[in-house]
Amino acid sequence: MEAMKQYIEDAEKALLHTYNRYQIVLDRGEGVYLYDIEGKKYLDFASGIAVFALGYHNEAYNEALKMQIDKLIHTSNYYYNVPAVEAAKKLKKVSGMDRVFFTNSGAEAVEGAIKAARKYAYLKDGRTDHEIIAMEHSFHGRTMGALSVTGNPKYREAFEPMIGNIKFAQMNNFDSVKELVTEKTCAILFETVQGEGGIYPAEKKFMEQIKALCEERDILLILDEIQCGMGRTGTMYAWQRYGVKPDIMTTAKALGCGIPVGAFLMTEYVAKRSLTSGDHGTTYGGNPLAAAAVNKVLDLFEENHIIENVNAVAPYLEEQLDLLAETCNFIEGRRGTGLMQGLVCKGAVGEVINKALDNGLILISAGTNVIRLVPPLVITKKNVDEMIGILKKCLQA
């Protein structure tokens, strides 16, 4: 206990105070379990915020990274490298998109998507005052462009002015979007399933109406799949279930399973009419190490039938969460899809999450009132039972 306290004290003196961290120091992981530096074991239903889809200490993944480290870690994008070519080809195949730009984070993928949309519109009409419609309750990252399209005024206020010409509509309210469209609108942007904002899945009808509107007005549809993508909702990308294909999409989080990497992808049609040489760049993006991670992650998704596991376990998770919601007064209900679930509560959930941590269960929130469940995609029904057992105990207390 003393050692852990000391590290936390040191951290509070050395790190910028931008997070209210949970009071544990994590040390190592094994499958769906994490251990702190004192050896205490935690069942992990957060996976480092929907990142470690494959579970911790995956031998094949670790080996692939070690091999790439010994070979070549970085080259810059002035040259080609084999892992990036292979990763881009695989990503095209699983997404059905045509062109890939690798980034180092989710926010950076969103930045690229915004630039691509603006350039597309600029080439069309030469205007420099294009507008983007984003959604309330959305989250797209903390850099200035991504923050500008994030629908939470609390995150934005102190950092105004934002990039400008951003309008906010309501998710699943088509009229609220349509009302905002003008001849300057270049893109409509949203998360197929909103994550940080409280786990709000898009409705199929909304997706279809938006797609039709975009086609009619030559507006680009940008879907942010950073959290809901990579198999989490039972298809590689959540939009694939709806049959509504975006013009541009973003991916990150589980894409590298812990190695920082993201990407924005687009159709050939948009690629031919937007960013061109000199328009965008990154020193690290898609470097051999990051690309080796993407390669191995995509291989393991197939070899280990990750998406099949999501589809096998998710209905059970939903059933158990619904049962819990029925028997617990504090829970209002459940929202979500696949292994991206939220328990909507009647009050702030911080205390429950801390109690769960004491009892060896890692959970996170989405907004103040929602317990967010985004476990590694390799969980079993037994893990679900274990989670429910601990959570039940914490809710009763």
Ligand X SMILES: *Cc1c(COP(=O)(O)O)cnc(C)c1O
Instruction: List interacting residues with ligand X (CB under 6 A).
Output: 105-107, 110, 139-141, 191, 195-196, 224, 226-227, 252-253
Between 166 and 252, name the residue whose CB sits nearer to ligand X. 252
Between 226 and 378, name the residue whose CB sits nearer to ligand X. 226
Tokens for 119, please give them.
């350039």
Shortest distance in whole angstroms from residue 9 CB to ligand X: 27
SS3 164: coil
Between 55 and 256, name the residue whose CB sits nearer to ligand X. 256
Between 61 and 139, name the residue whose CB sits nearer to ligand X. 139
Between 228 and 390, name the residue whose CB sits nearer to ligand X. 228
Between 195 and 285, name the residue whose CB sits nearer to ligand X. 195
Burial class (CB in 10 A: 0-12, 13-18, 19+), 183: exposed
HEC string for 61-82: HHHHHHHHHHHCCCCCCCCCCH
Rounded CA-CA distance 141/155 in Å is 10
Between 112 and 395, name the residue whose CB sits nearer to ligand X. 112
Q: Are 335 and 295 in contact (CB under 8 A)?
A: no
Cβ-closest position to ligand X: 106
Shortest distance in whole angstroms from residue 395 CB to ligand X: 26
Shortest distance in whole angstroms from residue 308 CB to ligand X: 24
Between 104 and 320, name the residue whose CB sits nearer to ligand X. 104
Across-strand partners of 188?
133, 221
DSSP letters, 190-252, are: EESEE-TTT-EEPPHHHHHHHHHHHHHHT-EEEEE-TTTTTTTTSSSSTHHHHT---SEEEE-
Omega before 376 within 30 of 0, i.e. cis: no
Across-strand partners of 131?
185
DSSP letters, 176-199, are: HHHTT--TTEEEEEEESEE-TTT-
Between 33 and 139, name the residue whose CB sits nearer to ligand X. 139
Shortest distance in whole angstroms from residue 104 CB to ligand X: 8
Between 261 and 314, name the residue whose CB sits nearer to ligand X. 261
Shortest distance in whole angstroms from residue 283 CB to ligand X: 17
Q: Angle, nearest 10°, between helix axes 306-327 and 381-396?
A: 30
Shortest distance in whole angstroms from residue 216 CB to ligand X: 26
Shortest distance in whole angstroms from residue 285 CB to ligand X: 13
Shortest distance in whole angstroms from residue 376 CB to ligand X: 16
- Sheet architecture: strand order including 364-366: 331-337, 340-345, 370-373, 364-366
Shortest distance in whole angstroms from residue 48 CB to ligand X: 11
Rounded CA-CA distance 368/360 in Å is 21
Give 46's DSSP letter.
S
Shortest distance in whole angstroms from residue 110 CB to ligand X: 6
Q: Which residues of 323-343 are buried (b: 16+ CB within 10 A; e: fewer)?
A: ebbeebeebeebbbbbbbbbb
Please give the single-letter amino acid code of residue 92: K
Give 119's DSSP letter.
H
Rounded CA-CA distance 115/262 in Å is 16
